[in-house]
Amino acid sequence: MKKKRKWLCMLLALLIFVSSAPVALAKENNAEDQDSILAPYFVVESSDSSVVCFPLKGTDVTVNINGMIAETYVIQTYANEGKTPINAKYVFPASTDVTVHGMTMQIGNQMVTAQIKEREEANQKFEQAKSEGKSASLLEEQRPNVFTMDVANIMPGDIARIELHYTQLITPCEGTYEFVFPTVVGPRYMSASEDASDDHNHFVGTPYLPDGKTPDQTYNITVNLSTGVPITELTCKSHEINVVKSTEASALVTLSNPEKFAGNRDFILNYRLTGDEIQSGLLLSKGNGENYFMLTVQPPEHFEPEDIARREYIFVLDVSGSMNGYPLDTAKVLIRDLVSNLREADSFNLILFSGSSVQMSKKSVPATEENIKKALNLIDKQEGYGGTSLTPALEDAIAIPSKHNIARSIVVITDGYVSGEQNAFDIINDNMDKANFFSFGIGNAVNEYLIKGIATAGLGESFIVTDAEDAIATADRFRTYIQSPLLSDIQITYDGFDVYDVEPSVPSTLFAQKPIVLFGKWKGEPKGTITITGKKGKEDYIQEIKAENVTAYEKGDAVRYLWARMRLERLMDYGYSKDDPSVKEEVTQIGLDYGIMTPYTSFVAVVEEIRNPEGESTDVNQPLPLPLQVSNLSVGGGYRAYSEPGEIVLIAAFIGAMLIGGMRHRKRRNIIA
């Protein structure tokens, strides 16, 4: 009887704690609290009107694609439908290679053009406007593909419109152009070794809606496509689209069902052109202070070398919680196809990673039927749980003993939901002499920064796989690339053409049939010859492009912005030292000189009118939807619940029932014993 009373008292105390905890947590809605958590967590929305939110009512995207250059305009419309002034933070994505060079803010009839400032100065200006009761917005880069938007003093009834303008390059591969517009930032796993105080990591604490729940907003995407030559194929594997062709070389693309699209997956548009559409050529532009060029070099066709060297493949497969379900099932199809089609002369190994790593063998094994079966059995057992610790898995892969005269390739398969991208790039850069690195991004909203960065730093190729059917076709492309390199020992010289600051560096080996695109600056008159040389198997390869008689455009801002993006990529993205002050100084100066977003420069806009003289407002961190087919297991931070009193009782009753059930089970077990 005494034991029973003891259990009941414990249960009562637990009920009281559970019933009060969510209420207390619901009140913890400030930036300081979010920074202390620094992990993604769930928000269970409530019908309680006292819970304040600042909904993003709609996103309108207009993309103008001319040749290989895309200009994108994004308009985000927010509304304060509550009764108090609001300060809010949003996290949203972009493609890794975009150059953000424009931002405007409109509240009511007041339009403000944002200024580019050093990050600290922009933040101070925003906070000062916020404290003075002025409406303001602040756009900051947290990763090359992750931005945050802060808005302050949005008054009840306000409609706020923020417009962003950015430019990017679309490089075709195997004759197919692919334009990707990311719509949601997937959750990130942050390891204990990462610096939680770095404000570039604070976005990791973004709240998420539970799996399957999407925000109530509209999402419109319009693409104006102009190619110059007839379009033969135009498809979208992510969404249903409407296509209206005004000519054979132009098309208008819109979403068929924009009202059903809640921004939980990337928009992926593919198109092909007739004939030999990718031409080597030179584009020149003149600026006020400097002139810029874009050089496109079309590589040779694939060929089958007489002797394909023996290869070693180390597959590094993500089996963390975010990969649970559909993503991991797709990854299994991919890796099954990759492993099953290895040549017997090849060797391979397998590393599975989540919070820790599991290695199939201490050293790589021959690709025999027995070893392949062993690997497939190990893969089939995986279900997807735990965190995402990529860097230890990469270190384990590199540490596997290697043999001479065997080309090693490390193949990473993941959704990329990890915040420590730079740690992975550092490991790859330090071990370039030991392997090539390839990457496969699995899912509908992958971390492109990591997926692309692994391949760029590792002199390999990156691939995106959205479903099982796509996995098989992509595996075939991978084998073609790695077994048949197109060009090696590549060099480019400029005879008589005065160029400088050429970006990026030329790859030593070209695997994919996609053009080499270089940006640079030039002086004087365009003349002379650009010569590309290399080795196509055992044969010498040479291609020449004449610079003379090329007409220079007087207004070539797109090429100017793309050069700046390429320079930033070399300085920052895939292998730089954060401790090098000269890097920060140069990156900051590029941001200021070119008026573009960088990790150290931000856009800030302020309405000078004092709109909130009382200064009282509510801070809101807006939750994001989980990417399509990503489960709740991807969110590993603290659970933040905004609950009704009735929901609290249900939760408490559920826990109580579990405890009572445990007591009964224990009593029954003792009787059986």
- Give residue-wise pLDDT tens across range 199-227: 777 777 777 777 777 777 788 999 999 98
**pLDDT greater at residue 58 or residue 586:** 586
Q: Are residues 60 and 209 in the same domain?
A: yes
Question: Domain end: 426, 450, 483, which one?
Answer: 483
Instruction: Indicate the length of the chain as a whole number.
Output: 673
Calculated CA dihedral for residues 17, 23, 29, 35, nearest 10 degrees = 10
In a domain, 192, yes or no: no
Q: How far apart are CA 633 and CA 216, in angstroms?
A: 23
Residues linked to residue 225 through DSSP beta bridges, in sequence order: 65, 251
Residue 216 in domain: yes
* 106 and 228, same domain (yes or no): yes
- Cα 196 to the chain's mean position, in Å? 20
Indicate the residue among 455, 483, 511 that finishes a domain: 483
- The SS3 call for residue 634 is helix
Per DSSP, which regions of 354-511 are E strands? 357-359, 365-366, 407-414, 436-442, 462-465, 487-495, 499-503, 509-510
Report the pLDDT averaged over residues 330-348: 85
3-state secondary structure of 511: coil
- Whether 473 and 346 share a structural domain: yes
Q: Is the dihedral of CA 471, 474, 480, 482 positive or negative?
A: negative
367/455 same-domain check: yes
pLDDT of 485 over the 80 cut: no
Q: Evaluate whether residue 320 is within a structural domain.
A: yes
337 in the same domain as 260: no
Q: Is the pLDDT of residue 30 over 50?
A: no
Do 97 and 163 share a domain, yes or no?
yes
Statement: residue 413 has pLDDT above 60: yes
Q: Specify whether 270 is located in the same domain as 319.
A: no
Q: How many CA atoms lie within 13 A of 192 on its CB side?
A: 1
640-651, pLDDT tens digit by residue? Answer: 433 333 333 333
343 and 264: one domain?
no
Predicted local confidence at residue 525, as pLDDT:
87
Please indicate, yes or no, whether residues 258 and 337 belong to a single structural domain of this protein: no
The answer to whether residues 126 and 604 touch, using CB atoms and an 8 Å cutoff, is yes
Residue 128 lies in a domain: yes
Q: Is residue 576 in some structural domain? A: no
Contact assessment for residue 221 and residue 267, using Cβ atoms and an 8 Å cutoff: yes
Structural element, H or E, at residue 47: none
* CATH code of the domain covering residue 378: 3.40.50.410
Would strands 41-44 and 207-208 be described as parallel, antiparallel, or unpaired? parallel
Overall number of domains in the chain: 2
pTM summary value:
0.76
Residue that is last in its domain, among 483, 506, 538:
483
324 and 260, same domain (yes or no): no
Domain at 269, CATH number? 2.60.40
- Say if 11 falls within a structural domain: no
Encoding tokens for residue 125? 């200006």
Q: What is the mean pLDDT of the chain?
A: 80
Among 168, 31, 203, 200, CA closest to 600: 200
Q: Pick from 40, 632, 631: which is nearest to 328 by CA?
A: 631
Instruction: Tell me, yes or no, whether 388 and 243 share the same domain.
Output: no
**Spatial distance between the Cα atoms of 636 and 321, rounded to a whole number of angstroms:** 9
Rounded Cα gap, residues 569 and 517, in angstroms? 14
Percent of the chain with pLDDT over 70: 81
Average pLDDT over every residue of 65-76: 92
652: in domain: no
pLDDT one-digit tens code per residue, 513-525? 778 889 999 998 8
Instruction: Please choose, from the candidates 102, 188, 183, 202, the residue with its C-alpha nearest in 3D space to the C-alpha of residue 142.
Output: 202
Strand-by-strand arrangement of the 207-208 sheet = 207-208, 41-44, 640-641
Residue 97: alpha-carbon gap to chain centroid: 10
For 411, the domain range is 311-483
Please tell me the distance from the alpha carbon of residue 634 to that of residue 629, in angstroms, as a whole number: 11
Has residue 553 been placed in a domain?
no
Its sign, for the CA torsion 447, 449, 450, 452, is positive
Same domain, 142 and 227: yes
pLDDT in tens, 256-298: 987 776 678 889 999 988 764 456 788 999 877 899 999 988 8
Main-chain dihedrals φ then ψ at residue 566, nearest 5 degrees: -65, -40
Residue 104 has pLDDT above 60, yes or no: yes
